[in-house]
Amino acid sequence: METLQLKPLIARYMTASFNVNRIMSARLGKLMPENLTADQHQTLCYIHERGMCTSSELADTFFVGKSSITAIVKRLVEKDLIERIPDERDRRVTYLALTPSGKQLMLDVQLKIEQLLARYIGHFQETEILAFIETFEKLARLLISEEEEVTENS
Protein backbone atom coordinates (compact mmCIF):
# COMPACT_ATOMS: atom_id res chain seq x y z
CA MET A 1 0.00 0.00 0.00
CA GLU A 2 1.13 3.50 -0.70
CA THR A 3 1.99 5.73 2.25
CA LEU A 4 -0.81 8.16 1.36
CA GLN A 5 -3.37 5.34 1.55
CA LEU A 6 -1.95 4.11 4.85
CA LYS A 7 -2.14 7.44 6.68
CA PRO A 8 -5.95 7.58 7.06
CA LEU A 9 -6.10 3.87 7.91
CA ILE A 10 -3.43 4.27 10.58
CA ALA A 11 -5.28 7.28 12.00
CA ARG A 12 -8.52 5.27 12.14
CA TYR A 13 -6.70 2.38 13.82
CA MET A 14 -5.08 4.69 16.37
CA THR A 15 -8.39 6.36 17.24
CA ALA A 16 -10.30 3.09 17.54
CA SER A 17 -7.50 1.43 19.51
CA PHE A 18 -7.26 4.36 21.91
CA ASN A 19 -11.00 4.45 22.54
CA VAL A 20 -11.40 0.68 22.92
CA ASN A 21 -8.41 0.38 25.26
CA ARG A 22 -9.42 3.42 27.32
CA ILE A 23 -13.03 2.39 27.83
CA MET A 24 -12.44 -1.36 28.18
CA SER A 25 -9.61 -0.81 30.66
CA ALA A 26 -11.92 1.29 32.82
CA ARG A 27 -14.74 -1.26 32.61
CA LEU A 28 -12.44 -4.20 33.25
CA GLY A 29 -10.93 -2.31 36.18
CA LYS A 30 -14.37 -2.10 37.76
CA LEU A 31 -14.67 -5.90 37.56
CA MET A 32 -11.47 -6.45 39.53
CA PRO A 33 -11.50 -6.93 43.27
CA GLU A 34 -10.67 -3.63 44.97
CA ASN A 35 -7.30 -4.84 46.15
CA LEU A 36 -6.09 -6.03 42.71
CA THR A 37 -4.27 -3.69 40.31
CA ALA A 38 -4.25 -4.07 36.53
CA ASP A 39 -0.58 -5.14 36.63
CA GLN A 40 -1.35 -7.74 39.28
CA HIS A 41 -4.26 -9.04 37.21
CA GLN A 42 -2.10 -9.32 34.09
CA THR A 43 0.51 -11.19 36.11
CA LEU A 44 -2.10 -13.60 37.43
CA CYS A 45 -3.45 -14.13 33.89
CA TYR A 46 0.01 -14.96 32.60
CA ILE A 47 0.74 -17.41 35.42
CA HIS A 48 -2.73 -18.95 35.04
CA GLU A 49 -2.14 -19.47 31.32
CA ARG A 50 1.34 -20.97 31.81
CA GLY A 51 0.75 -22.95 35.00
CA MET A 52 4.12 -21.85 36.38
CA CYS A 53 6.79 -19.34 35.46
CA THR A 54 9.75 -17.47 36.90
CA SER A 55 10.05 -13.80 37.86
CA SER A 56 12.61 -13.34 35.07
CA GLU A 57 10.12 -14.68 32.55
CA LEU A 58 7.51 -12.20 33.81
CA ALA A 59 9.96 -9.30 33.56
CA ASP A 60 10.86 -10.27 29.99
CA THR A 61 7.23 -10.80 28.99
CA PHE A 62 5.98 -7.48 30.37
CA PHE A 63 9.09 -5.49 29.40
CA VAL A 64 9.71 -4.26 32.93
CA GLY A 65 12.59 -4.47 35.36
CA LYS A 66 12.93 -7.34 37.77
CA SER A 67 12.40 -4.97 40.69
CA SER A 68 8.93 -4.11 39.37
CA ILE A 69 8.07 -7.79 39.09
CA THR A 70 9.46 -8.46 42.56
CA ALA A 71 7.09 -5.84 44.02
CA ILE A 72 4.08 -7.29 42.16
CA VAL A 73 4.97 -10.85 43.16
CA LYS A 74 5.47 -9.84 46.79
CA ARG A 75 1.99 -8.31 46.94
CA LEU A 76 0.38 -11.31 45.24
CA VAL A 77 2.10 -13.68 47.67
CA GLU A 78 0.90 -11.54 50.60
CA LYS A 79 -2.64 -11.76 49.21
CA ASP A 80 -2.26 -15.57 48.99
CA LEU A 81 -2.90 -15.50 45.23
CA ILE A 82 0.44 -16.95 44.13
CA GLU A 83 3.08 -19.08 45.76
CA ARG A 84 6.79 -19.49 45.27
CA ILE A 85 7.93 -23.02 44.43
CA PRO A 86 11.66 -23.76 44.58
CA ASP A 87 13.12 -25.83 41.75
CA GLU A 88 14.10 -29.24 43.08
CA ARG A 89 17.22 -29.44 40.90
CA ASP A 90 18.43 -25.83 40.98
CA ARG A 91 18.10 -23.81 44.18
CA ARG A 92 18.69 -20.58 42.28
CA VAL A 93 15.40 -21.01 40.39
CA THR A 94 12.02 -20.27 41.95
CA TYR A 95 8.78 -20.82 40.13
CA LEU A 96 5.57 -18.90 40.65
CA ALA A 97 2.18 -20.63 40.57
CA LEU A 98 -1.37 -19.71 41.51
CA THR A 99 -2.63 -20.79 44.90
CA PRO A 100 -6.13 -22.32 45.13
CA SER A 101 -7.48 -18.84 46.02
CA GLY A 102 -5.61 -17.39 43.04
CA LYS A 103 -7.16 -19.98 40.75
CA GLN A 104 -10.63 -19.25 42.12
CA LEU A 105 -10.11 -15.51 41.69
CA MET A 106 -9.07 -16.05 38.08
CA LEU A 107 -12.18 -18.16 37.41
CA ASP A 108 -14.44 -15.51 38.99
CA VAL A 109 -12.83 -12.62 37.10
CA GLN A 110 -12.79 -14.58 33.83
CA LEU A 111 -16.54 -15.16 34.11
CA LYS A 112 -17.15 -11.44 34.67
CA ILE A 113 -14.94 -10.55 31.68
CA GLU A 114 -16.76 -13.04 29.47
CA GLN A 115 -20.12 -11.55 30.49
CA LEU A 116 -18.88 -8.03 29.77
CA LEU A 117 -17.44 -8.88 26.37
CA ALA A 118 -20.50 -10.94 25.39
CA ARG A 119 -22.57 -7.74 25.65
CA TYR A 120 -20.54 -6.22 22.83
CA ILE A 121 -19.71 -9.25 20.73
CA GLY A 122 -23.43 -10.04 20.54
CA HIS A 123 -23.85 -6.97 18.28
CA PHE A 124 -21.82 -8.58 15.51
CA GLN A 125 -22.50 -11.37 13.07
CA GLU A 126 -20.47 -14.53 13.48
CA THR A 127 -18.53 -13.84 10.26
CA GLU A 128 -17.62 -10.36 11.53
CA ILE A 129 -16.46 -11.73 14.86
CA LEU A 130 -14.32 -14.44 13.25
CA ALA A 131 -12.81 -12.01 10.73
CA PHE A 132 -11.97 -9.53 13.50
CA ILE A 133 -10.43 -12.17 15.78
CA GLU A 134 -8.42 -13.75 12.96
CA THR A 135 -7.11 -10.33 11.91
CA PHE A 136 -6.30 -9.38 15.50
CA GLU A 137 -4.50 -12.72 16.01
CA LYS A 138 -2.51 -12.08 12.83
CA LEU A 139 -1.42 -8.70 14.22
CA ALA A 140 -0.44 -10.40 17.49
CA ARG A 141 1.62 -13.01 15.62
CA LEU A 142 3.42 -10.29 13.65
CA LEU A 143 4.23 -8.35 16.82
CA ILE A 144 5.41 -11.47 18.66
CA SER A 145 7.54 -12.58 15.73
CA GLU A 146 9.15 -9.15 15.47
CA GLU A 147 9.75 -9.06 19.22
CA GLU A 148 11.39 -12.49 19.11
CA GLU A 149 13.69 -11.30 16.31
CA VAL A 150 14.67 -8.21 18.31
CA THR A 151 15.35 -10.36 21.38
CA GLU A 152 17.47 -12.83 19.39
CA ASN A 153 19.51 -10.01 17.87
CA SER A 154 20.11 -8.28 21.22
The number of residues making up the chain comes to 154
2: pLDDT strictly greater than 70: no
Cα dihedral 103, 109, 115, 120 in deg (nearest 10): -120
Helix residue ranges, H only, 1-154: 3-31, 38-50, 55-62, 66-78, 100-121, 126-153
136: pLDDT strictly greater than 80: yes
One-letter amino acid of 19: N
**CATH class of residue range 27-123:** mainly alpha
Rounded Cα distance, 38 and 131, in Å: 28
Whole-number pLDDT of residue 150: 74
The confidence band for 97, taking pLDDT boundaries of 50, 70 and 90, is very high
Q: What are the structural domain ranges in the chain? A: 27-123, 124-154
Whole-number pLDDT of residue 59: 93
152: pLDDT strictly greater than 80: no
- Note the pLDDT tens digit of each residue in 14-50: 999 999 999 998 998 888 888 888 899 999 999 999 9
Continuous segment of H or E residues that includes residue 98? strand 94-98
